[in-house]
Structure 1
Amino acid sequence: MWVLVFLGAAFLVAMTPGANNLLGMHHGMRYGPARGVTALFGRLTGFALLITAVAAGLGSLLAASEIALTAVKWAGVAYLVYLGARILLTRQVAEEAPEEPVAPNLISLARKEFLVAVTNPKAVLIFTAFVPQFVEPDRGPVTVQVLLLGALYLLAELVAGSIYVGVGAVVRAVRMSRRAHRRLDQGTGVILLGMAALLATSPR
Structure 2
Amino acid sequence: MGFLAVALLVALTPGANNLLALRNGMVHGFAGSMVGVCGRLVAFAVLVVAVVAGLGPLLSASEWALTVIKWAGVAYLAYLGITTLWASFRPVAGAGGAVAEVSAASSVFSLARKEFLVAITNPKAVLVFTAFVPQFVVAERGAVTAQLAVLGAFYLVAEAVAAGVFAAAGSVIKAVRLSQRAHRRLDRATGGVLLGMAGLLVVEPT
Q: TM-score range by the shorter chain?
A: over 0.9
Give the structure 1 partner of residue 144 of structure 2.
Answer: 142
Runs of 4+ in 1 over 2 A off after TM superposition: 91-101
Range with bigger deviation, 85-94 or 69-78? 85-94
| TM-score in terms of structure 1 length | 0.95
2:12 counterpart of 1:15: yes
Counterpart CA distance in 1 for 2:149 and 2:185 is 42
Give the structure 2 partner of residue 181 of structure 1.
Answer: 183
Counterpart CA distance in 1 for 2:123 and 2:186 is 27
Give the structure 2 partner of residue 72 of structure 1.
Answer: 69
120, 123, 127: which one aligns with 1:121:
123
Counterpart CA distance in 2 for 1:93 and 1:183 is 14
State whether residues 54 and 127 of structure 1, in contact with CA within 8 Å, keep that contact through their aligned partners in structure 2: yes
Output one character per residue of 1:10-56: Cα deviation in whole Å (capped at 9) or x when no partner: 00000001000001101001111110011111000000000100111
37, 40, 53: which one aligns with 1:40:
37
Give the structure 1 partner of residue 113 of structure 2.
Answer: 111
Counterpart CA distance in 2 for 1:9 and 1:146 is 16
Range with bigger deviation, 73-82 or 138-147? 138-147
Counterpart CA distance in 2 for 1:88 and 1:43 is 23
Matched residues, number: 201
| TM-score in terms of structure 2 length | 0.94
Between the aligned residues of both structures, percent identity stands at 57
State whether residues 62 and 69 of structure 1, in contact with CA within 8 Å, keep that contact through their aligned partners in structure 2: yes
Counterpart CA distance in 1 for 2:163 and 2:2 is 20
- Check 1:81–1:149 CA distance in 2 against 1; reply closer, same or farther (3 A cut): same
Gaps of 5+ in 1: none
SS at match of 1:57: coil
Give the structure 1 partner of residue 174 of structure 2.
Answer: 172
Give the structure 1 partner of residue 134 of structure 2.
Answer: 132
Give the structure 1 partner of residue 96 of structure 2.
Answer: 98
State whether residues 31 and 103 of structure 1, in contact with CA within 8 Å, keep that contact through their aligned partners in structure 2: no
Range with bigger deviation, 170-179 or 118-127? 170-179
